[in-house]
Amino acid sequence: MNKNKTVHIISHTHWDREWYLPYEKHHVLLIELMDELLQTFDADEAFKSFHLDGHTIILDDYLQVRPEMREKVQHYIKEGRLQIGPWYILQDEFLTSSEANIRNLQYGMKDAEKWGGLARVGYFPDSFGNVGQAPQILQQAGIKTAVFGRGVKPTGFNNTAEDTDIYESPYSEMKWEAPDGSTVLGVLFANWYCNGNEVPVNEEEATVYWNEK
């Protein structure tokens, strides 16, 4: 194993406001998550950051129930420990209109900047395919990097990819190019956005894991 390599484990949630449960049940779970997250920030300075799934509407949902936590939330955003945006609500690009996608990004970026922090990452963790103009839109918004979970065949770790140029890639990093020639660095999630769940906590088991991966 190359001991000079550094692995970054990014703590985050993938948060559907309403999906397999009604909104109200997801809302209750969100309050529990945010309460525990803020308590963790308070108690553990070594817990450096948490990515709040790329959308800012989560904060509105939380403060609807916990308005007294506004200053604490803003403190950790400004400190860089709570990463938010750039979307207002995490979108599926093919379920909404083109203008809705643009407005979503504009509103989310303004909202994140109002809070005092903006994660400039084109975040598409679970979109069912990505629009070709995404790099063009991101470039115009000042965003140079995108991460995504669909659009090309998954690769990395124990995933496989066939040697073909049709809608697949054997790489997890690529130059993602729009029809107008705009490009961003595209990073494909290996083993999905929850791949950190696979990392063993036990040090000896973790060593074996990283040697293999």
pLDDT (0 to 100) of residue 26: 95
Over residues 142-166, the mean pLDDT reads: 70
Residue 189: band (very low, low, confident or very high) from pLDDT cuts 50, 70, 90: confident
User: Helices 57-65 and 23-43 sit at what angle, rounded to 10 degrees?
Assistant: 90
Of the chain, the end-to-end C-alpha distance in Å amounts to 10
> Domains in the chain, ordered, with CATH?
8-119 (3.20.110.10), 120-213 (no CATH)
Please give the structure tokens belonging to residue 137.
């839109």
What single DSSP character describes residue 67?
G
> How many Cβ atoms are within 10 Å of 147's Cβ, its own excluded?
17
Percent of the chain with pLDDT over 90: 62
pLDDT digits (tens, 9 = 90+) for 80-130: 999 999 999 988 888 888 899 999 999 999 999 999 999 999 999 888 888
pLDDT (0 to 100) of residue 170: 63
Which is more confident, 155 or 197?
197
Catalytically annotated residue among 35, 126, 163, 165: 126
Question: Any catalytic annotation for residue 126?
Answer: yes
Please give the structure tokens belonging to residue 188.
């494909």
**How far is Cα of residue 51 from the mean position of the Cα atoms in its chain?**
6
Question: Which residues are registered as beta bridge partners of 174?
Answer: 186
Residue 167: band (very low, low, confident or very high) from pLDDT cuts 50, 70, 90: low
